[in-house]
């Protein structure tokens, strides 16, 4: 008999024919002549209750081994449940303990564990209700991302992980090298001799697939990337990972307004999809993690995002009575506290800020006619601040070269990028969404380390 998944079994009416299931024991309650076990197989949040009569073959052998965490194979019949809380349960006719789980050593006992503790056992935490739910929602969300872009005619492009270009120009790349670290070859001038390195030059892990994405957008029209991204930021916050997933659409003949429309439609689509696909997990987050999750998502779905320039936002912040740690004046890079104040106190809905000062934004953003601001657009949401960063791209090769020099980039490495402006240049725009930031927002989880299977963050891997 093929095993069924609990997700499917729970939808069945009680029935005569037998069923088989596999899973792990969550709890056991014993009485004199029978016992109840709750089995979970990860297919959904709910457990399946199994009632095992003492007359089942081998009862005295397996009963002691049905411990929390043990894996089991069970055959039986689905019968109407006498108890509250479930429509039906399984009356077992065969029970096999497939893998024992010695209770003395098993770190996941049936009690509340803090997320801090669970972070120390990332290989076992997927067995908890919360991480099961996070993982299923993460899965549905990635599917939604692909669905959205595929429906809109965007082509998925796999951009390289090892690269020579520091897209954000912020010097946050992890270096990739096979040079012997205890005996680094030097040039006559005393610098590192990268011509002896694996790729004959200095390379690192990508901080963004955007630049390579632009090359493909300038041929296929609309593309998106969805892959791992690495940042060696020394940011020890609940919103920063050193390895995270980023989604980056890029579209030719899109200006910044098209880009903002795309970002808004995209966020609404994927949120709606997850709410439809994972109602049980989302109810769990709303009840157990953050009671405002569902109402917050509803605000996103039912409001048009506010659009405002950076300069207007600074004026709003200057009017604020709030006591900011970082003082506000035109030219500052907005801090999380400012972003939260705007979205939570002033506007109470998501906002897209545009036209940031050039000094605080990356070299590739299109310079506005005022010479002071660039055509950037950041999507800010309550609780989190920046969730999306994007822009229209600079297409003027002279302005771009000047911006690269200002940013201290080696033009030699970006010749190919300038080619995109020399040969059939077209206006184009795109954005980057931090996948885990969106998951934090959707689930109400508080720490970004808890929405990725194995987290890598500053000083933790
Ligand atoms: O604003 P960022 O740095 O923009 C870019 O990388 C552009 N190349 C995107 C583009 O236009 N194609 O990063 C984009 C998003 C941020 O808004 C944030 O959601 C997320 O990536 N992000 C991080 N998420 C987790 N941990 C970190 N350390 C992150 N840094 C950025
Ligand atoms: Mg940004």
Q: What is the pLDDT of residues 42-88, one digit of tens each?
A: 999 999 999 999 999 999 999 999 999 999 999 999 999 888 878 89
Tens digits of per-residue pLDDT, 346-397? 999 999 999 999 999 999 999 999 999 999 999 999 999 999 999 999 999 9
Q: Quote the domain boundaries for residue 34.
A: 6-99
Say whether both 76 and 147 belong to one domain: no
CA 303 to chain centroid: 23
The overall average pLDDT reported for the chain is 95
State the pLDDT at residue 86. Answer: 82
Ligand nearest to the CA of 168: 1
- Reply yes or no on whether the pLDDT at 171 is more than 80: no
Average pLDDT over residues 307-315: 97
Say whether both 151 and 236 belong to one domain: yes
Out of 84, 99, 114, pick the residue that ends a domain.
99
DSSP string, 396-418: -HHHHHHHHHHTT--GGGGHHHH
Atom 1 (ligand 1) nearest CA? 389
State the pLDDT at residue 169. Answer: 76
Distance CA 227, CA 229 (A): 6
Average pLDDT over residues 153-159: 98
By three-state DSSP, how is residue 310 classified?
helix
Place of tokens 């690192």: 204
Let me know if residue 88 belongs to a domain: yes
Return the CATH number at 402. 3.30.930.10
Ligand 1 atom showing the smallest separation from residue 437 Cα: 19
pTM, to two decimals: 0.96
Ligand nearest to the CA of 432: 1
Q: Which tokens belong to 105?
A: 């050593």
Tens digits of per-residue pLDDT, 84-135? 878 899 999 999 999 999 988 899 987 789 999 999 999 999 999 999 999 9
The residues near 243 (Cβ < 8 Å, ≥ 6 apart) are 228, 229, 230, 452, 456
Would you say 88 and 79 are in contact if contact means Cβ atoms under 8 Å apart?
A: yes
State the pLDDT at residue 252. Answer: 98
User: For the purposes of burial, counting CB atoms within 10 Å of the CB of 291, is it exposed (0-12), middle (13-18) or buried (19 or more)?
Assistant: exposed
Q: What percent of the chain has pLDDT over 70?
A: 100
Place of tokens 């809380």: 85
Out of 99, 114, 140, pick the residue that ends a domain.
99
- Reply yes or no on whether the pLDDT at 190 is more than 90: yes
Number of alpha helices (DSSP H) and beta strands (DSSP E) in the chain: 13, 16
- Reply yes or no on whether the pLDDT at 327 is more than 80: yes
State the pLDDT at residue 326. Answer: 93
Distance CA 460, CA 226 (A): 24
Ligand 1 proximal residues by C-beta, below 6 Å: 167-168, 208, 210, 231, 233, 240-241, 244, 246, 248, 386-391, 430-434, 436-437
Weakest-pLDDT range from 12-16, 32-36, 139-143? 12-16
The count of domains in the chain is 2
Say whether both 83 and 138 belong to one domain: no
Return the CATH number at 27. 2.40.50.140
Atom 31 (ligand 1) nearest CA? 434
Q: Could you tell me the pLDDT band of residue 321, with boundaries at 50, 70 and 90?
A: confident
State the pLDDT at residue 110. Answer: 73
Place of tokens 């310079």: 367
State the pLDDT at residue 107. Answer: 93
The residues near 68 (Cβ < 8 Å, ≥ 6 apart) are 25, 26, 27, 28, 101, 103, 106, 108, 109, 110
Q: What interhelical angle do 256-277 and 129-151 show, nearest 10?
A: 130
DSSP class of residue 127 equals G
- Reply yes or no on whether the pLDDT at 170 is more than 90: no
State the pLDDT at residue 87. Answer: 87
Tens digits of per-residue pLDDT, 405-436? 998 888 888 999 999 999 999 999 999 999 99
Let me know if residue 114 belongs to a domain: no
Question: Candidates 159, 432, 438, 455: which one to mutate for ligand 1, based on the most atoms within 8 Å of Cβ?
Answer: 432
Let me know if residue 355 belongs to a domain: yes
State the pLDDT at residue 109. Answer: 80
Reported residue count of the chain is 461
């Amino acid at each position: 008999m093929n095993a069924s998944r609990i997700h499917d079994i729970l939808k069945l009416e009680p029935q005569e024919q037998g069923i088989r299931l596999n899973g792990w024991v969550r709890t056991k309650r014993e009485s004199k002549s029978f016992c109840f076990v709750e089995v979970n197989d990860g297919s959904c949040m709910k457990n399946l209750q199994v009632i095992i009569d003492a007359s089942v073959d081998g009862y005295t052998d397996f009963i002691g081994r049905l411990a929390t965490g043990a894996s089991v194979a069970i055959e039986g019949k689905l019968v109407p449940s006498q108890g509250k809380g479930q429509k039906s349960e399984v009356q077992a006719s065969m029970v096999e303990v497939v893998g024992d789980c010695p209770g003395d050593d098993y770190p996941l006992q049936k009690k509340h564990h803090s997320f801090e503790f669970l972070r120390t056992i990332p290989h076992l935490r997927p067995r908890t209700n919360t991480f099961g739910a996070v993982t299923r929602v993460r899965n549905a969300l990635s599917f939604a991302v692909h669905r959205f872009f595929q429906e809109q005619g965007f082509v998925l492009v796999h951009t390289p992980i090892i690269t020579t270009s520091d897209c954000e120009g912020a010097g946050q790349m992890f270096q990739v090298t096979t040079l012997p670290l205890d005996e680094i070859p030097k040039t006559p001038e005393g610098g590192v001799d990268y011509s002896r390195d694996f790729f004959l030059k200095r390379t690192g892990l990508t901080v963004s697939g955007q630049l390579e994405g632009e090359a493909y957008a300038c041929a296929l029209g609309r593309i998106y990337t969805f892959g791992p991204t690495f940042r060696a930021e020394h940011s020890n916050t609940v919103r920063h990972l050193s390895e995270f997933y980023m989604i980056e659409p890029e579209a030719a003949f899109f200006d910044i307004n098209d880009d903002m429309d795309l970002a808004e439609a995209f966020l609404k689509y994927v949120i709606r999809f997850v709410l439809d696909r994972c109602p049980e997990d989302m109810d769990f987050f709303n009840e157990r993690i953050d009671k405002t999750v569902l109402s917050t998502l509803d605000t996103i779905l039912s409001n048009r995002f506010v659009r405002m320039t950076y300069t207007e936002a600074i004026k709003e912040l200057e009017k604020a009575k709030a006591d900011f740690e970082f003082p506000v004046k035109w030219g500052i890079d907005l801090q999380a506290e400012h972003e939260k104040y705007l979205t939570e106190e002033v506007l109470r809905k998501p906002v897209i800020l545009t036209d940031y000062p050039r000094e605080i934004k990356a070299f590739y953003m299109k310079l506005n006619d005022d010479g002071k601001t660039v055509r950037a657009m950041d999507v800010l949401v309550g609780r989190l601040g920046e969730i999306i960063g994007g822009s229209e791209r600079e297409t003027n090769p002279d302005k771009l070269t000047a911006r690269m020099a200002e940013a201290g980039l080696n033009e030699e490495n970006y010749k190919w990028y300038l080619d995109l402006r020399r040969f059939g240049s077209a206006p184009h725009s795109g954005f980057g969404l931090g996948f885990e930031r969106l998951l934090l927002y959707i689930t109400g989880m508080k720490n970004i380390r808890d929405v990725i299977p194995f987290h890598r963050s500053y000083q933790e891997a």
